[in-house]
């Protein structure tokens, strides 16, 4: 009986898809990720001997490795087919080190998409393990271990036990902390706009904004100046002074790379980077499509190249012509330029077959898979379409010494915009309106004049999308690491999310400031970016990985030793309060721990009484959480009930606490659709806000979106759900089968 060849991949899902393609002459097994790593409880690096890493089998992988060895012994040939990147190459290398025996051939195969054509071509042209890729992965792994393993004892000594720090994550934390510093230091300035509503000889009515006073740009800084303009405009005629029209061509955005996919999925789908990569991995490895079996639906999702294979461009062009018409296909295929450091061996993230439309796959994909596939599919198809042709019109209206400007855009040919428009992080972006037919010299009718007061706003906190964009722009980490970076700084409690935006915790600020003070090079953004370039150079064979590590470690180790010799801890001083200890009568003080602030007896350790901090001097996380008095009275003692914030969300408690310990859930004014109980805001163990019925556990109703007290006008569901966007958000029906949504009307002061 002829022996079969063995193929080893990382995941069972990928194994299933590839097994279907290769057929009966191959056995496909999965390593289920890495099989080896550095040890958990020791450094695992021989610094004196060229930073030699000590790799050990990951706990629990013994059975997997034993099965792989047995399968390899029985196989004719062995093909290692983990993902086509540094991590995949390292996995292949570790597997090879375990299964190699005798003269048996061990091949390395890579493919950027799991399609029949790509996989068969890879197996027809197998190669060897790329040790430059392995060295680049080893360099990053060893570098991060040296930093993390060295900094943790420092943080334990100087701040609190149990803390840890990472090389790249700490710099990402610095970005969040520095943005918060900018926000705190920002001084708001007043300014005024004057907007007029006008009517021409034909509809529609349109608006214009004050642009110039005389020859100078209009700048109104207070109400008195705005009133002076209104008085000067009384009785003025509004005459069209100038009309300027420009034709513009707007090209589509390039197909996705890892970082732009993460950004757009965060903006459009509200996916975290971690979720985006998890869902994309499944789409890449293969989805069961009924009788067709498991099929890989997208190309490899860890890429920094916007290159598209010629055959994919041809297929897209044919599809676009059939679907939208010949005018929507560019005369020459659109070609996009990647960044200088991009690996052109990879392609952009695209559908493996453009003819597999999202609609055709709807019944096979989960809702999240369908959303992400639709995003990838639309972005790719749009990237292969003709540019949009726009006519941009600017109209200047003269009224005495004042010039107002109105702008409008007419879409002459929609091109790619028919299918897809890229999102933006710019909160101030305004859509231009539609203008009526107008002529120079035409006198317009003033319908309304409106002065409006505004204040300059501080820079916004980072969202998942904007932080990924900043990391990418500054060269901190690589797109394949962004999901891990963002997850890590949250898991370590260095940052928290407030309204989907990153805010540093007091712990995060403390750790960040300490590291900046003691390790300025390590925390320097430019230094970190240069280190990423050096890791890339190892991959290209331009640098030896041990030399790169040596250049980094010698000064780092010297700095570390100097800092460890310094005495004293870095902690905020205890804050006095007006409260007295319930046990011994001594004053209570606000102390600090790695979990945030808390109330403690000032006589500690003689008196160890302590309790959570829920007053106006700070919450459990050190944030300001004022008590809000309500009109409701305590049912037990008659004292006013107040709103407090605790570890698991907001609740109502008696203001006479601790004498009266009455407490109950805080209702947001919406009734549970299951049992009619009050819905309240709660917080999960990981700190994420959600909403659930007050009658839990007898009622299990929960939702991540905040219920809005308005019945659905389409299906009469008892309430809508809030979904946040950069423009304030929108409302959707709680009934998933309904599909109703509407813009949320936001109070002007709501987000101030």
Tell me the mean pLDDT in the region 287-302: 92
Mean pLDDT confidence for 233-240:
96
Cβ(593)–Cβ(613) below 8 Å: no
pLDDT at position 365 is: 96
pLDDT of 274 over the 90 cut? yes
The whole-number pLDDT of residue 652 equals 79
Q: Of 374 and 500, which is predicted with more confidence?
A: 374
* Nearest in space to 665 (alpha carbons), one of 683, 679, 686: 679
**Per-residue pLDDT at 745:** 43
Sign of CA dihedral 51, 84, 281, 323: positive
Question: Model-level pTM?
Answer: 0.76
* Angle, CA 4 vertex, CA 124 and CA 112 arms, to 5°: 35
- State phi, psi for 473 to the nearest 5 degrees: -65, -35
pLDDT attached to residue 537: 94
Does residue 319 have a pLDDT over 70?
Answer: yes
Q: Would you state the pLDDT for residue 751? A: 27
| pLDDT digits 0-9 by tens, 525-551 | 999 999 999 999 999 999 999 999 999
- pLDDT category of residue 650 using cuts at 50, 70 and 90: low
Confidence of residue 701 (pLDDT cuts 50, 70, 90): confident
pLDDT at 645: 58
- How far apart CA 613 and CA 618 sit, in angstroms, is 6
Q: What is the DSSP string of 7-54?
A: EEES-HHHHHHHHHHH-TTEEEEE--S-SEE--SSS--EEGGGTTEE-
Domain boundaries, the chain: 5-129, 138-186+460-565, 190-251+388-455, 258-383, 575-704, 705-752
CB 392 within 8 A of CB 248: yes
Assigned superfamily of 258-383: Topoisomerase I, domain 4 (1.10.290.10)
CATH topology of domain 138-186+460-565: Topoisomerase I; domain 2 (1.10.460)
Q: What is the pLDDT of residues 587-631, one digit of tens each?
A: 999 887 766 678 899 999 899 898 887 544 333 333 333 475 666
pLDDT digit string (tens) for 214-226? 999 999 999 999 9
Structural domain 5-129, CATH architecture: 3-Layer(aba) Sandwich (3.40)
List strand residue ranges (DSSP E) for 422-571, in order. 443-455, 495-498, 501-504
Under the banding of pLDDT at 50, 70 and 90, the label for residue 578 is confident
Q: What is the mean pLDDT of residues 506-534?
A: 93
The helix or strand, by DSSP H or E, that contains position 683, with its residue range, turns out to be: strand 678-683
Going by C-alpha positions, the residue among 62, 66, 57, 95 that lies closest to residue 78 is: 95
Q: Report the distance separating Cα 71 and Cα 57, nearest Å.
A: 18
DSSP class of residue 392 equals: E
* DSSP code of residue 433: B
**Does the pLDDT of residue 580 top 80, yes or no?**
yes
pLDDT tens digits, 433-485: 789 999 999 999 999 999 999 999 999 999 999 999 999 999 999 888 999 99
DSSP class of 210: E
* Average pLDDT score, the chain: 88
Please give the Cα distance from 654 to 682 (Å, whole number).
19
Quick check: is 300 catalytic?
yes
Contact between 731 and 741 under an 8 Å Cβ cutoff? The reply is yes
Active-site residue, selected from the candidate residues 300, 324, 494, 708: 300
Are 372 and 271 spatial neighbours (Cβ–Cβ below 8 Å)?
yes
Q: Which residue has the higher pLDDT, 567 or 135?
A: 135
pLDDT in tens, 705-736: 888 888 887 777 888 888 765 444 678 888 87
Q: Which tens digit of pLDDT belongs to each residue from 94-146? A: 999 999 866 678 999 999 999 999 999 999 999 999 999 999 999 999 999 99
Q: Are 256 and 348 in contact (CB under 8 A)?
A: yes
Which pLDDT belongs to residue 617?
37
pLDDT at residue 160 greater than cutoff 60: yes
CATH number of 190-251+388-455: 2.70.20.10
- C-alpha–C-alpha distance, residues 209 and 406, integer Å: 7
């Amino acid at each position: 009986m002829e022996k079969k060849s063995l193929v080893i991949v990382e995941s069972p899902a990928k194994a299933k898809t590839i097994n279907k393609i290769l057929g009966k002459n191959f056995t496909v097994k999965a390593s289920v990720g890495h099989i080896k790593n550095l040890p958990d409880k020791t450094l695992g690096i021989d610094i004196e001997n060229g930073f030699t890493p000590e790799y050990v089998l990951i706990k629990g992988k013994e059975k997997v490795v034993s099965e792989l060895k047995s399968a390899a012994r029985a196989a004719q040939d062995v093909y290692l087919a983990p993902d086509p990147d540094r991590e995949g190459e390292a996995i292949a290398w570790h597997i090879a080190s375990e299964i190699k025996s005798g003269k048996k051939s061990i091949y390395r195969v890579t493919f950027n998409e799991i399609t029949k054509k790509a996989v068969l071509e890879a197996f027809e042209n197998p190669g060897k393990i790329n040790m430059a890729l392995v060295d680049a992965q080893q360099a990053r792994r060893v570098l991060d271990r040296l930093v993390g393993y060295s900094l943790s004892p420092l943080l334990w000594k100087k701040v609190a036990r149990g803390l840890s720090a990472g090389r790249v994550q700490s710099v990402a934390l610095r970005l969040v902390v520095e943005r918060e510093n900018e926000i705190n230091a920002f001084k708001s300035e007043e300014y005024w706009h004057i907007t007029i509503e006008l009517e021409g000889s034909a509809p529609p009515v349109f608006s214009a904004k004050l642009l110039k006073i005389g020859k100078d740009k209009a700048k109104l800084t207070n109400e008195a100046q705005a009133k002076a303009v209104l008085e000067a405009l009384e009785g003025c005629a509004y005459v069209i002074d100038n009309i300027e029209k420009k034709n513009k061509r707007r090209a589509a955005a390039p197909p996705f790379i890892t970082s732009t996919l993460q950004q757009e999925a965060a903006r459009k789908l509200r996916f975290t980077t971690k979720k985006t990569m998890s869902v994309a991995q499944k789409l890449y490895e293969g989805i069961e499509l009924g009788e067709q079996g498991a099929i890989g639906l997208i190309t490899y999702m860890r890429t920094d190249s916007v290159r598209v294979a010629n055959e994919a461009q041809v297929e897209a062009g044919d599809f676009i012509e059939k679907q939208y018409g010949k005018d929507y296909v560019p005369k020459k295929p659109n070609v996009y330029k990647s960044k200088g450091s991009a690996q052109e061996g990879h392609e952009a993230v695209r559908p493996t077959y453009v003819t597999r439309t999202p609609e055709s796959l709807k019944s096979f994909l989960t809702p999240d898979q369908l959303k992400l596939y639709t995003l990838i599919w639309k972005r790719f198809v749009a990237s292969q379409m003709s540019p949009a042709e726009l006519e941009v019109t600017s109209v200047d209206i003269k009224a005495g010494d004042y010039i107002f400007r109105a702008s409008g855009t007419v879409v002459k040919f929609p091109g790619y915009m028919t299918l897809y428009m890229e999102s933006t992080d710019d909160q101030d972006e305004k859509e231009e309106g539609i203008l009526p037919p107008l002529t120079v010299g035409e006198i317009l009718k003033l319908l309304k004049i409106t002065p409006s007061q505004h204040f300059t706003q501080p820079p916004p906190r980072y969202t998942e999308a904007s932080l990924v964009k900043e990391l990418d722009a500054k060269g901190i980490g690589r797109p394949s690491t962004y999901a891990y970076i963002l997850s890590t700084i949250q898991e370590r409690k260095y940052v928290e999310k407030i309204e989907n935006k990153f805010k540093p915790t007091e712990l995060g600020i403390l750790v960040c400031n300490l590291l900046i003070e003691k390790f300025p090079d390590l925390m320097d953004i430019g230094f970190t970016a240069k280190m990423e370039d050096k890791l890339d150079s190892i991959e290209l064979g331009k640098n030896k990985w041990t030399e790169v590590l040596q250049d980094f470690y010698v000064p780092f180790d010297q700095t570390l030793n100097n800092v460890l010799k310094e005495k004293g801890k870095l902690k905020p001083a205890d804050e006095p309060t007006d409260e007295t200890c319930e046990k011994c009568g001594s004053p209570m003080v606000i102390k600090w721990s790695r979990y945030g602030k808390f109330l403690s007896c000032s006589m500690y350790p003689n008196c160890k009484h302590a309790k959570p901090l829920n007053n106006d001097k700070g919450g459990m996380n050190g944030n300001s959480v004022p008590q809000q008095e309500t009109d409701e009275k305590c049912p037990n003692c008659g004292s006013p009930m107040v709103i407090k914030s605790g570890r698991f969300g907001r609740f109502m408690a008696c203001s006479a606490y601790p004498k009266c310990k009455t407490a109950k859930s805080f209702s947001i004014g919406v009734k549970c659709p299951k049992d009619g109980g009050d819905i309240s805001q709660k917080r999960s163990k990981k700190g994420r806000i959600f909403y659930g019925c007050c009658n839990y556990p007898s009622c299990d109703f929960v939702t991540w979106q905040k219920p809005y007290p308005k019945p659905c006008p389409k299906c009469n569901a008892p309430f809508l759900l809030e979904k946040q966007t950069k423009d304030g958000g929108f409302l959707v029906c709680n009934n998933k089968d309904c599909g109703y949504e509407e813009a949320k009307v936001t109070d002007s002061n709501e987000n101030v």
